[in-house]
Each structure stands twice: as structure tokens, then as C-alpha cells.
Structure 1
Amino acid sequence: MSRHDLTDDAWNAIRYLMPSRSKSRRGRPWFDHRQLINGVLWILQTGAPWRDLPVEFGNWKTVYNRFRRWVKEGLWDKLFRKLLRRMDQLGNIDRTVWCVDATVTRAHRSAAGMAKQSEENDKTHALGRSRGGYSTKLHVMTDARGTLLSITATGGQRHESQEFDNLYEHCQVSVHFYRDRPAAIAGDKDYGSAAIRESIENRSIEAVMPTRANETVNEEFDRDCYRKRNIVERLIGWLRESRRIATRYDKLPESYLAFIKLAAIRRMLKCI
């Protein structure tokens, strides 16, 4: 048994969301879902190649194929969305202030071999050249308790301000009604543009971003609220403790994002 395995309580919280075997389905019985997910969690934490998966989790090819099938079917997205909305129903989503930030993740050589490097292919595969080399930039939104609400991936050279609206639209809890929106959104100077502030304020949300050197100082800037922004940096640091996230090994961005959402799922299961 691995120390990364799901606990009984965690498994019972998600087992009803797992696909069931159809009675009309022929062939071999499905490999145990819990054992398979434990294998994926082992890969997530260790960052090891799929072929190095210990035999106690089953054949590595079986685990990998099921992982990829569930990526294509959107199962990991469904688990992430369902658990997040359950937390919202339990009142565990803090809407006092939401925080946004981005981090650059270095792409391993194995992640860059999917297609010939070009501007179009890099955009499709969320890869690009930045100061950190060939990399992916993760854009993160979290609530005031450090719960991951939204995650998107772009090439490492894409600026944070260009991705803000897309990040907000990918939020997995309801923001359609005014009562469901946060009181404020906080970000560092990379988000401190007039366009972003206007976009946030048009949603009836307070924009807590410091002004840049070439802008007029905002005397109404809420410094106490801005200090809470460190929660998103702590979340990013926690995500990076999983080696499969700290370095991008996956060729396809949807697989890489699935690992990030799986890490967030584990975190949420401790709160439900």
C-alpha cells in the first residue's frame, strides 16, 4: 500500500461518480477503479515515467490507457467540478476575495516531442519560450481559503493580463448571479492594467491590483485585502510539491491539467 493511496473516506466520496460497467459489455471485467486511481496518484506525486509504475497498481499500460480515456471523456473535469460545487453547497467557498496569479513550469524534453515547434503548434500545446526556457504558464484562481477555482494553461511567453478573462470564465463555481460573485479579486502588478480593472468592475467586483509606475496612484487601493493574495502563491507552492506538476512531462495540455485537477481533488476531499 502506498502512502499516496486514497483513504476509505476519500474513496467513498467519489465512488458514485465513477463509470460503471454496462451489463451488456463483453470482454474482461474492468480493472478496479480505486486501485487504478491510486496508481495515477503515485505517478502524480513521484513524477515517474508510466513504465515505472509498481506492479501493485496493475499493468502500467492499463492504468495509462484508463487515465487517457477518462481525460478524453472529461471524467477528471467532472470530478473536479462536482466536488467544488459540493463544497460551495456546504459553504466552504470563501467569496470575500479571490486571488489570481500565474507560474511558469519548465517543459521536459518528453513534453516537446508531440509536434514540430512552431508558433501555431506551441499555442495548441500550451508551450512557448520564456526566460525559463521552453515552458508552460499556469494561470490560477483561488478563493480566500486556497481552494482552486479555475486553472488554464498557455505558452510560457503569454502575459498574465492576456489570460485573465479566460481564467475567470473557466471558474467552476457559479458566478452568473451577483450574490455568487466575490466581493473582490486581487492580483499583482501583472494584472494592474486599466482594461482588467474595468473588466472586473463591470462585474460589480472590486479590483485589488496595485498601480504600475506609469499610472496614477489609486488612493482607494485596499492594502489589507491585497495582503491576502499570498494564498494563491501558497497554493501554487503546494501544487508544485507533486513532481508531475512541478515539471511538465505530458505532451498534451489536457493530460497535464488533469493531473493538476487530480491534486486539487485530493485537497478538496479533506474538506468534505
Structure 2
Amino acid sequence: MTESSLPRRAFLRTAATAAAAVGVAGTLSGTAHAGWGHGTRRIPLHHISVQLYTLRSLMQDDPDGTLGALADIGYRCVELAGTYGRSATEFRALLDKHHLRATSAHVGFDGADVDQLIADAKILGYHKADCAWASYSTVADWTAFAQRLEQAGKAFREAGIAYGYHNHAHEYQPIDGVRPIDIIARNTTRQNIHFEYDLYWVVTGGADPVEEYYRYFGRVKQFHVKDRAADGGFADLGTGTIDFARIFRDTWRGGMKQYIVEHDQPTDPLSTAKVGFEYLRDLRF
């Protein structure tokens, strides 16, 4: 029996068991849970989301059941990564059925029909979108990309949608003495382009997320909350080495409103989503 064919309650029983095991491991490791109980701030539930890329194997086979399971976990918001063969109207109906809101989406603009992307966004209901990936080997190419990004961002803004850029690690590695993330920032405006910081990749790229947040203060509107294992791989939230309590506490100033659970290579996507939601829901900082 495949995971996607299980009833939703069975999904959640499995996830709950895994979450309990993860909680014990996290307590023993003494790493990511170190910030618990040391503050009074908490993330509002409607600011917690999950990137559906984390659940792509399940979404492809059973989007209806997977979205229902996410709603049962407690999620109110999701970030899209495609619509898995459904039209924008069909996918919006699934979201509405499970009382979920798409608050953001990953949509590439290069080679795409931006007007169609905007039309789909209006149907799906999200007001933030992000370019998920770019990679170039020269300053000139990064500069040209940033200029195209700015123009796409202008079109999105004029349609009432904020457009941004989602980083990986390589944007923090200098090319001829200049980091690509800085090239993007210098060749775009805060009016048209914001940043979605993937905290795992910021750390992997050798940068401090807090320092980077204030470097472009006011432009960082979203966090991908992704944990990092001791060996450098991916980890479920609360089981890795990133001190999210410190990051969230020290970046509370400003307009950051979305904390998005993500894991690039989960072995049990629903368990990962459940562990991530409960970690963010329970975290105090």
C-alpha cells in the first residue's frame, strides 16, 4: 500500500508517532530546542505556512488527500510550487475545500508568460510570489538577470502581487569579489523585489541570517524555515543545528510575516510537515 492511499487519519497517526520520536531526539541533542521557554513571543498561526514542494511526491498522486491532511495538522496557509496538473481554478477549489489559503507561490518569470502567471495568481489568491532559482557564472550575467527580475517585479506589483527572490547557497559566494545576492539587491528596487530567505541555504552559504536580514532591512518578507543536520544535510525542524529562536528573536523588527516550513528531501513528507508545524507553533523566543 502506498502512503498516498492511506486514509488521512492513518497518515496523522503515523506522523504523530514520528513526531514523538523526533521530540525525544531533539531533547537529547540539546540543539534546536535550546531557545524554548526563554521568551514570550510566538509566531501567529496564520503566519505559519508550508512549501508544497516538501510534499511533492504526495501532491502528485493525491493533492486532495494531502491538502486535507495538512489542514488536519493545523496549517491554514500553504506556499505553492505548481498545481500538479490541475488548472488554477481546479487547484483553488481544492484549497477552498480544505479551508487553506495560498499566501505565496514559487513562479519563474524567465521564458514565462508573466501576464498568465498574474492571471493564475489572481485565481489562486496569493499576494506574494518568488523566483525560486537562478545561477550564473559572471557578474554581467547576474546583473542582466537582476534587471529582468526588476521588470517582472514591476509587472507583478502593478497587478497587486509582491514579487521576490528565493536564495540558495551560491548567491553568497563572491564572483570577482561581489556576491550575487548583492548584485540582485543593487540592481533591483525594494519597491519591486523583496527577498525570501531560505535559512538553511543562507547558513550553508556561510552567512549569518540576522546580519543578512538587517543588510536589506525591510526587503525580507518571508523565511523558508529549513533545518540543517550536523553533517550538513537537511533535517526536520527542531532536530538540526540552526538556532531559529535566536534568528526569529533578533529579526522580529520589520515586516517579516511568513514562516514557511520546508525540507528538500523528506523521507516521510507528512511527518516532516507535522513536526515543522508543531515546532513553529510551540516555539517561544
* Same-fold status (TM-score > 0.5): no
TM-score relative to the length of structure 1: 0.29
Larger radius of gyration: 1
